[in-house]
Amino acid sequence: MANTKKVSAGRKKLLYVRKNYDLYLLLVPTLVFIAIFNLVPLWGLQIAFRDYKLMAGGTPWRSIWASKWVGLNIISKVFGKSEFTRALRNTLVISAMKIVFTFPLPIVFAIFLNEVRSNGFQKGLQLIVYLPHFLSWVVVSGLFVSLLNSMGPVNKLITSLGGAKIRFLMDNSWFRTILIVSEAWKEIGWSSIIYFAAIAGLDMECYEAAIVDGASRFQKMWYITLPGLLPTVVLMLIIRMGNIMDAGFSQIFAMYNPTVYESADIIGTYVYRLGLGKLDFSTGTAVGVFNSIIGLVLVLLSNVFAKRATGKSIW
Amino acid sequence: MSKTRKKAQSYLTRRTAFDYIDMVVLSLFGVMILLPVLQVVAKAFSGEGPVIAGLVTFWPIGFQTDTIGYVVKKGEFLKAFQTSVIATVAGTTLSMFLTVTSAYPLSKPTLVGRKFILYVFVFIMLFHAGMVPNYLLFRSLGLTNTIWALIFSGAFSVFNMFIVKNYFEALPESVEEAARIDGASNIRTLVSVILPMSMPVVATVTLYYAVGFWNNYMAGVLYITKADLKPLQQYLYDLVRQALDTTDAAGNIKDIDSTMNLTGESVRAATIVVSTVPILIVYPFLQKYFVKGMTIGSVKG
């Protein structure tokens, strides 16, 4: 009995596939694409366990197998490098600073924008504050270099107030601040969309009842809007924490320079300089793998937390 | 009830001091967002002299358009602009093809093997091999220093696929059934029934991809070394790096400021402005589509 049932379930699946073969046909191009560009590179991660020589084989890719297997030699050496510890520390510190200082801003912005009673004002302001999100980090880097150099408006203001010029982009005590400010500048508006939409979805009855009870504007914001936003805030915070290993590679890569490696060299930029700068492919891969694995574990953990906290899965 | 409604109504329309303070503070925030942009625009349109003397802040001094003219007529710039346009158009087309053709089958809850394929997609979204294996693969496939390197990197985004898939799943079942009764194949249904109904999400995701390709500078930095194949963002990256280059040929550290105030400053500003113009032109008209994606995307996959 059980056996025939199993067979018929299998046959059903087979029938489904035969009848809907064109659905699978549709999937083929994407599967081929990700096989080549996403899965094959994973196979190349073994460079981290080999003493990779670019010219050992016919092509750089074949060289992987032609290079000597050295086991955990390279990976264990990585942990002893002071540059690695520095990159790891910078990654965590910069990420943590970004969460503390920039994460709350879009929430505050969305709440106060929601209080504005002129539709035209809301729309106009949204048009302005979403814009920087669409500029590349290279452009943003160019804007901030121009803004912060010794002849730029910021230093002009400082000297006119009697202060001494600050070399923001070459100063280890300033560079992280610049990273946070430029990230905030670029993303506050865009990140606020999700909160703004969440506020729009809140129950109007609550507000009406509060008005009848004579609640002030601040009371409404504090006792209705903010608690209503909490699930969204928790979810976004968990997602953000899951991505802590990404401190903003494209941003830092476009803005940093050797004078601020001490405070701003993160794992991604370190991997680039090792692998593609010094052509130490094995060490570069080893550091990259370390970063990817920790990152993956954190994202998976954050999804578990998100499910538990809000009943929603991130993906 | 009507009395309380009326009270609520008047409350909602009356403007208090709070409203004005709120609007003033938010306006100041808006100005702060605009200032860095204005400052570079001002430099791009100012005379060379005032720029070098550091006189320009947020408004052009000695207004002229020669610098802009010089930049757009430069061969390297034109070549880079052209490369970026080709990579963006071709890349976005390929991306949309892959995204739609994979989102549609995966939007079918009955698809055999759906769960497994989704796991693979989520996995590649979360785990990347990283720069080095990708670089070696691109080099071995002969893609480095070809336009294909720019097209293939970033051509498929699992996140965007999920946005489209969620949208397909939310479409009413009945429409598709009607097509099925008429004997249409799945592909037929996708092309003539589903896609026409999905134009908003198609527009949104197309824009995401297009902006992604246009703004991608890493693909160029990693895979392109030939000068006449650099995309615009890489060309710009090289310009900005000149300003950030703090070591001289001998490896000694020099001051950013000393490189900053060469005549390059005006040219740099003008190049930034010109390369951002395409985005600035489409942005106001398409803003609602961009925003839509954020809210569609927040629906669980």
Q: What is the pLDDT of residues A147-205, one digit of tens each?
A: 998 888 898 899 999 989 888 988 999 999 999 999 999 999 999 998 988 898 888 88
- Establish if B54 belongs to a structural domain: yes
Q: Are residues B165 and B42 in the same domain?
A: no
Q: What is the pLDDT of residues A288-302, one digit of tens each?
A: 999 999 999 998 898
What is the per-residue pLDDT for B86?
96
For B186, which DSSP code? Answer: H
Q: Among A117-126, B46-55, B157-166, B242-251, which is the least confidently predicted range?
A: B242-251
Residue A27 contacts B where some CB pair is shorter than 8 Å: yes
Residue B275 · residue B232 · CB < 8 Å:
yes
CB contact under 8 Å between B244 and A115, yes or no, is no
pLDDT at site B177: 80
Indicate whether B37 and B125 sit together in one domain.
Answer: no
- Residue pairs spanning A and B at CB distance below 8 A: 306
Task: List CB contacts (< 8 A) between B126 and chain A.
Answer: 295-296, 299-300
Residues B54 and B92 in one domain: no
Nearest chain A alpha carbon to B298: A194
Does the distance separating the beta carbons of A255 and B244 come in below 8 Å? yes
Residues 237-276 on A with a CB inside 8 Å of B are: 250, 253-259, 268, 271-272, 275-276
- B-chain CB neighbours of A213 within 8 Å are none
Q: Is the whole model's pTM more than 0.80, yes or no?
A: yes
Give me the residues of A, 89-118, that contact B with CB < 8 A.
Answer: 109, 112-113, 115-118
Q: How many CB atoms lie within 10 A of CB A98?
A: 21
Q: Which long-range contacts (CB under 8 A, 24 or more apart) does A107-111 make?
A: A107/A192, A107/A195, A107/A229, A107/A233, A109/A188, A109/A189, A109/A192, A109/B26, A109/B29, A110/A192, A110/A195, A110/A196, A110/A199, A110/A229, A111/A195, A111/A199, A111/A221, A111/A225, A111/A226, A111/A229
Considering only CB atoms, which chain A residues are within 8 Å of B110? 16
Asked if residues A149 and B257 have their Cβ atoms less than 8 Å apart, the reply is yes
Q: Do residue B31 and residue B109 come from a single domain?
A: no
Find all residues with CB under 8 Å of B248, minimum gap 6, and list them.
B254
Torsion-angle region of residue A116: left (phi > 0), alpha (psi -120 to 50) or beta?
A: beta
Residue in chain A closest to B102 (alpha carbons) equals A27
Is B39 in contact with A257 (Cβ distance < 8 A)?
Answer: no
B298–A194 CB contact, under 8 Å: yes
The residues facing A68 across adjacent strands are A51
Cα gap A186→A141, rounded to integer Å = 11
Count of structural domains, chain B: 2
Is B147 strand, coil or helix? helix
Closest CA to A142 of B77, B62, B242: B242
The amino acid present at A43, given as its one-letter code, is W
Q: Which of A137, A259, A315 sits opposite B246 (nearest CB)?
A: A259
Please provide the CATH number assigned to the domain covering A75-310.
1.10.3720.10
Q: Is B248 within a domain?
A: yes
Residues of chain B with Cβ-Cβ distance to A40 below 8 Å are: 137
Whole-number Å distance between alpha carbons of B137 and A100: 38
Asked if residue B170 and residue B226 are part of one domain, the reply reads yes
Of chain A residues 107-166, which have a CB less than 8 A from chain B?
Answer: 109, 112-113, 115-118, 121, 125-132, 134-139, 141-147, 149-153, 156
Q: Is the pLDDT of residue B301 over 70?
A: no
Give residue-wise pLDDT tens across range B242-295.
877 655 445 455 555 444 444 578 888 999 999 888 888 888 888 777 777 666
Q: Where are the domains of chain A?
A: 2-71, 75-310
* pLDDT at B213 > cutoff 80: yes
* pLDDT tier for residue B300 given thresholds of 50, 70 and 90: very low
* pLDDT of residue A59 exceeding 50: yes
Does A26 contact B102 at a Cβ distance shorter than 8 Å?
A: yes
* Tokens 């020099």 found at: B254
* Element holding B298 (H helix, E strand): none
B-contacting residues of A 37-66, CB under 8 Å?
37-45, 47, 59-64
> Residue B4 falls within a domain, yes or no?
no
Which of A31, A128, A256 shows the shortest C-beta gap to B33?
A: A128
Highest-confidence segment of A117-121, A221-225, A288-292, B92-96: B92-96
C-alpha distance from B240 to closest chain A C-alpha (Å)? 6
B29 and B129 housed in the same domain = no
Buried b (16+ CB within 10 A) or exposed e, A41-77: bbebbbbbbbebeeebeeebbebbeebeeeeeebbee
Find the closest chain B residue to A131 by CA distance: B283
The CB-side HSE value for A16 (13 A sphere, CA atoms) comes to 14
Q: Are residues B106 and B248 in the same domain?
A: yes
Locus of tokens 């494209």: A250
Tell me if B3 is assigned to some domain: no
Higher pLDDT, B281 or B87: B87
Closest chain A residue by Cα to residue B121: A34
How far is A305 from chain B, CA to nearest CA, in Å? Answer: 15
Supply the range of the domain harboring residue B89: 68-297
Per the CB < 8 A criterion, the answer to whether A142 and B40 are in contact is yes
Domain with B206 in it: what CATH number? 1.10.3720.10
- pLDDT reported for residue B212: 93
